[in-house]
Amino acid sequence: MMRHPYPAAVILVAAFLAPSAMPAHADEATVPANGTSTPAPMPQSTDSLYGSNVSEYFQKWFERSDYARATQPNWMTPIVTVTPRLEQEVRSDQYFEVLGNGSSVNQYDSGKLLELIPTTTEEILINPPAYMVRNGPKPISGFGDDPFLIVKQRLLSANEENGNCILTVFLGLQAPTGITAFTANAWEVTPTIAGGKGWGDFDIQSTLSLAIPTANANVIGDALIWNTTYQYHFLTYFWPEFDTAVTHWYGGLRDEKTQVFLSAGMLLGRFEIYGRAKAVIGAAYQWAVTPKMTETPVLTPLYNHAWILSARMPF
């Protein structure tokens, strides 16, 4: 059983970021949506990207977000792992899960909606609760808890021409807004460190999170979550990926259990729609490899396998 994945995750992030881990010089190149590099003049100071008043701040919104994207790798946001990159898009994911006890749960929108880049190094994610439908002996439907806010702070980054790496920290908040069948009955705070490194058309993106409930810890427990995506890019629009998702619980009904999911998927994009808007679509199949399924004191792993569909519109 993997009890303490901390050292491995720290070593992984360090290995990604050691070579050329320095901020990119944004005036050297920008990386547009099709993944090719073209020279483009950029401001020597980011001060000019904010304006002198509120009106100018919003007028310069896309200048700032373009600058943020140009100074980081142009990888695709994975299906399962939250990317360390700053992204600006509308997104909707659907999960179709089959549980080990024979029931199934469909999650519509799956806590994804709007991602915005308000500064040159920060992102905010505004998410609605997923609408969940459980089929089986006790069918029920309703909204789950709401992971309504994630804030990202990028610490360092380098685009493909200057090191091809990134390091970011997140803070996520989840509210216990779900119906009785789908709520943890506790607020949850999730700090995260995320990193990535690319080599040519191949990249690895990884996150290490600790989900901390503010109540009911004897039931929920703290969850250490380590996600890693291995991604390749070819023929402009194709982004195949393989993902590992490891969760280890400390306390609660799953105390000292470790759950491992693997997933294989494909993303297609970024296709031109109109103006700044692009389209990205993808799908993945995810399956549990450990632990052996148990129903008491609580179902573990959370589900046996799932299909995941993802649609995004970067802008």
Please report the pLDDT score of residue 26 as a whole number: 39
pTM of the model: 0.86
CATH number of the domain encompassing residue 110: 2.40.160.40
The residue among 70 and 17 whose pLDDT is bigger is 70
Residue 38 φ then ψ, to 5°: -135, 140
Please report the pLDDT score of residue 132 as a whole number: 97
Cα(197)–Cα(26) distance, rounded to whole angstroms?
18
- The reply to whether 10 falls in a domain is yes
State how far the alpha carbon of 89 is from the alpha carbons of 70, 77, 220, 294, 314, in Å: 16, 11, 32, 39, 4
Please report the pLDDT score of residue 7 as a whole number: 41
Please report the pLDDT score of residue 44 as a whole number: 56
Mean pLDDT of the chain: 89
- The reply to whether 36 falls in a domain is yes
- The reply to whether 164 falls in a domain is yes
Q: What is the pLDDT of residues 282-295, one digit of tens each?
A: 999 999 999 999 99
Tell me which residue range forms the domain holding 23: 6-314
- The reply to whether 281 falls in a domain is yes
The pLDDT of residue 296 is above 70: yes
- The reply to whether 60 falls in a domain is yes
Residue 8: band (very low, low, confident or very high) from pLDDT cuts 50, 70, 90: very low
R_g of the chain, CA atoms, integer Å: 20
Please report the pLDDT score of residue 42 as a whole number: 55
Q: Please state the rounded mean pLDDT for residues 25-41.
A: 42
| Residue 42 near residue 26 (C-beta atoms within 8 A) | yes
State how far the alpha carbon of 143 is from the alpha carbons of 105, 106, 116, 246, 271, in Å: 12, 11, 24, 25, 32
Please report the pLDDT score of residue 47 as a whole number: 84
Percent of the chain with pLDDT over 90: 83
Q: What is the pLDDT of residues 35-90, one digit of tens each?
A: 444 334 455 578 899 999 999 999 999 999 999 999 999 999 999 999 999 999 99
Q: Please state the rounded mean pLDDT for residues 101-109.
A: 95
Residue 34: band (very low, low, confident or very high) from pLDDT cuts 50, 70, 90: very low
- The reply to whether 160 falls in a domain is yes
- The reply to whether 41 falls in a domain is yes
Give the chain's domain count.
1
Q: What is the pLDDT of residues 206-230, one digit of tens each?
A: 999 999 999 999 999 999 999 999 9
Please report the pLDDT score of residue 203 as a whole number: 98
Cα(111)–Cα(137) distance, rounded to whole angstroms?
26
- The reply to whether 1 falls in a domain is no
Residue 185 φ then ψ, to 5°: 55, 35
The pLDDT of residue 16 is above 60: no
Residue 78's contacts (CB-CB under 8 Å, 6 or more residues apart) are 205, 229, 231, 241, 243, 265, 267
